[in-house]
Every structure is written in structure tokens, then in C-alpha cells.
Structure 1
Amino acid sequence: MNINQFDQRVGEALPDWQPVARPSCALLIGQHCLLMPLSVDHAEAILQAFMLAPDDRDWTWLGAERPTTLAQMQSWIAEKVMNAALVSFAVCTLAEQPCGVVCFASIEPEHGTIEIGHVTWSPLMQRSAKGSEAIFLLLKQAFEPGYRRVAWRCDSTNIASRAAAERLGFRFEGRLRQVMIRKKRNRDSDWLSIIDCEWPAIQRALSNWLNADNFTGSGQQKCPLSTCFAAINEDDFRR
């Protein structure tokens, strides 16, 4: 507990804190996927990947409808690329085939906080490690230069999104009610996060799971991620 000169409880002192740099949109290389700076040039490949889905269910909680023409996809991508508040990536196979999109958002270098959002995966990423590794690469990109908190938020009815975040080590913080109206529906938002003191243990668990030795030649995992997390002592997640 921290007490100030007025006998009041206050937050932990950070006398040496310095703002961190805004993350760059640079190529990030993993063992299962690549994150490349998103470009309108990716539109045709991303459109083809998204059109592999039989319906629009993966777009239920997103702000946009699924683009169905090249012009619509170019516009959808351009909005992200031109938005100065975002750092946007195309998730690609190791052969550089785009198969998803993800962004950094709500970037506040002065506070060391950042959010992973605009997560839009195609069927090409299903039943593979690409999605998990894409988030892992972004977490590394955030924590290595000194960010203190990486957030994840989702529609409270999007059970799959929250479960995916928790599977990767994000911790549920709470629910903000009636935050917005999206697609003429009310949205309550669930907030989750990983903070810097938790990251070393989470990084070890994710690194162990993503190791090439943990996957068969056909891409099937040998040891589940939950087992890798179970091997990390709970005390490692705390100061």
C-alpha cells in the first residue's frame, strides 16, 4: 500500500517513467505466420480469403459488413491504413499469402498503454496457430519497448473473442454497459488486459506452445496451450 503525505492511499510511484515510442508498422516474423504492414495491395487476396466463409457470422460483432467486391475491400482496408490512430497489419502465411487483419489501436505512449483490435480472421486461419502467434507477435512488439498494458475489448456477447483472449493470458477486468450502438444493436463491452509484470510468464507459456517442436508436420499441436500455462507458477504473474 502506498500512502502520501496526506495519509491518502495512492498508486505505485513511477519516478523513472518515460513515455515509450509509438509502435512501428514493420514486418514481424513468426514460425507460423508473418505480420506485414497492411496495404490496399492486399485487397484481392484478403477478399478471396474472407469469401471462403460460407456466411457472414464472423462479422456479426464487427463494425462493418463483410466486403464482397474488390472495391469494397479496397475501401475497407484503406480506412484502416489511412486512420492515423491505428497501426494496421495483414496476417500472412509464411508464403506471404494474406489471410487476416489485426491492428494496434488506442495507442497512448505517454501512459504506456495500447490495445489490440480490429481482429478479423479468415477461414484460412482456422484450426492453425496463425491467429495465436499473430497476437503473440503484437504482444512482443508492445512490451519489449516498454508498454505497461495491452488491452483487448470485445462485445460482451462475443463469447469466442473473450475466450480467445483469456486463452492467450488476458485477464478479464470488467464490463462497460451500453457503450455504443453498433448495427442498430446495443453493445456492452468486455475489457481484458495483460500488464507488464504478467508478460514474462505469459511469454514463456506462449513461446513454449508456439515452438516448432510442439507441432506435427501437418500443423497439429502436440501439447495444448493450457498445459503450457499450467506449467507456469501463479506467483510468476504477480509483482
Structure 2
Amino acid sequence: MANSIPVPNWKPAQLPDGRTLEGRFVRLEKLDPTRHGDGLYAALQGPSPDPKLWDYLPWGPFPDRTDFDKWISAHTANPNSLVYCVVDKATGVVDGSLSLTSIVPAHGRIEIGGVLFGTGMQRTPKGTEAVYLLAKEAFELGNRRLEWKSNNENARSKRAAERFGFTFEAVFRQHQVVKGKNRDTAWYSIIDSEWPAVREAFERWLAVNNFDESGQQTKPLESFRVSPTS
């Protein structure tokens, strides 16, 4: 969208209020360190943790539970982020967390960040549904732009952004220093005019008829965004 194009009847987006977001596989609850702390620690630092989970994040890992508790208290107290806990609806087990962050209602801009998925939800529909639920919430709040940012060396995060339907925009060189190392940051976004098609792809992929009896997908998510004529 060119800078000269007006935005008629623009109203700032609403702030997220932390309401529980219900999906078919997962439920997103506002993260409460007291209520969710044990489950989240088990998911992220349990007996079989993802060895690469913390590689590109500004915090962690936390082999010491006391350090984890201090971090989660500070993480949830950040006034510019709303952290959600991912709860498996079938089992009630906490599987991870993610956030709505970089919240700028005046410009209708918001980001999905702080994605921490334990091994129990990686390569399952639960991770995709968690991102879908937050993206849906972001646009229903009136945002014009949803962002996703990755360390440019984090191939796994960049692949996820593309799979979810985010558009690559640019790399901000020497954007940050994280854990004593340079971070070039890759920026991705979905804008409001793109969201209906992205939303439809998510919903068609998550539908019951896209999974076989063993729970495996029938068609990949990207296939639902391909035009029938392409």
C-alpha cells in the first residue's frame, strides 16, 4: 500500500484483553506463572527438551528452576506483551507459550513473538492452531498488520513464517546483539487485505477432513493458499 493512499474511517485497534481463545486442538490461556509454571517448565525444560529451542531467543535455557521462575515472572509482567499458555484440550497438558507483542494500537500493528513450543506440540496441528488463534485475534481487534520476526540464521522460524502465510519483507542488518552475538533480523508480515485468504487456508487445513485416522495431514497448509488456476 503506497504512502499516499488514505485510510478512510481509520480507528485505532483494540488492545488484547487476555481472554481465553478456544480451538479444536488447543486452548490459549493468559499465562499465569503460579497456575501454569510447573507445566510450562516441564514442557520446555523437562526430561526430553528441544536442544535448539533457546538458540535464537534472548533468554534461556533454564536448567535451574529458580531462574526459570524469575524469567517467567518478568516475561509476563512486560507491559508491551501478552503471553499465552498453550493447553492441549484433550489432556489438559501445558505444551508451550507464545505472545502478542510489539502492540501499537494507534497504527494497527502487532506481532506474534516469543514462540516456545515444547516437543509435545512440534510437528503437530497444535502449533499451527495456536498461531492461527493469535492471528485471528489480532485482526479481529482491528489491526492492519501482523508481524513475525526471526533471527536471520533461524531457518526453522523463517520456514514456519512462510508456511503460516507471512510475506518476507526485509533483513534488518545488525539489528540487535543477543547473548553477545550479532543478530540480523528477518521481518515478515500479513496485512489485513491478505488475512481473509490466509485465514481460509488455516481453517481448511485444520478441518477434520484434512486429517486421516492416524492424525496425519492429508494436504499441506501451503496447498490451501494456491490459486486453483495457478
Q: How does 1:189-208 map to 2 (within 5 A)?
A: 189-208=185-204
Deviation digits for residues 162-214 of structure 1, max 9, x if unmatched? 11011010000000000111111100000000000000011111100001221
Structure 1 segments of 4 or more deviating over 3 A? 52-56, 231-234
1:82 matched residue in structure 2: 77
Q: What SS is found at the alignment partner of 1:35?
A: strand
Residue 30, structure 1, aligned to residue 26, structure 2: no
Quote the Cα distance in structure 1 between the aligned partners of 2:115 and 2:125: 15
Which of 144, 150, 153 is the equivalent residue of 1:148?
144
Residue 67, structure 1, aligned to residue 62, structure 2: yes
Q: What SS is found at the alignment partner of 1:68?
A: coil
2:40 matched residue in structure 1: 46
Q: What percent identity do the matched residue pairs reach?
A: 37
Maintained 8 Å contact 1:56/1:66: no
Residue 157, structure 1, aligned to residue 153, structure 2: yes
Maintained 8 Å contact 1:125/1:131: yes
Which of 130, 137, 149 is the equivalent residue of 1:134?
130
Q: CA deviation at 1:112?
A: 0.4
Deviation digits for residues 49-71 of structure 1, max 9, x if unmatched? 12243563221101112222332
Q: CA deviation at 1:29?
A: 0.6
Maintained 8 Å contact 2:50/2:118: no
Gaps of 5+ in 2: none
Maintained 8 Å contact 2:28/2:86: yes
Maintained 8 Å contact 1:47/1:69: no
Quote the Cα distance in structure 1 between the aligned partners of 2:223 and 2:125: 16
Q: What SS is found at the alignment partner of 1:43?
A: helix
Most deviating of 208-217 and 149-158? 208-217
Q: CA deviation at 1:48?
A: 1.2
55 and 28 in structure 1: CA distance in 2 versus 1, 3 angstrom threshold: closer
Q: TM-score when scaled to structure 2? A: 0.93
Maintained 8 Å contact 1:201/1:232: no
Gaps of 5+ in 1: 3-9, 235-239
139 and 74 in structure 1: CA distance in 2 versus 1, 3 angstrom threshold: same
Which of 119, 122, 137 is the equivalent residue of 2:118?
122
Q: CA deviation at 1:96?
A: 2.5
Deviation digits for residues 118-158 of structure 1, max 9, x if unmatched? 01111011221111111100010011131100000010000
Q: CA deviation at 1:89?
A: 0.2
- Structure having the higher Rg: 1
Most deviating of 225-234 and 161-170? 225-234
232 and 106 in structure 1: CA distance in 2 versus 1, 3 angstrom threshold: farther
Task: Output the amino acid matched with 2:7.
Answer: L
Q: CA deviation at 1:81?
A: 1.3
Maintained 8 Å contact 1:32/1:130: yes
Quote the Cα distance in structure 2 between the aligned partners of 1:86 and 1:43: 18
Q: What SS is found at the alignment partner of 2:129?
A: helix
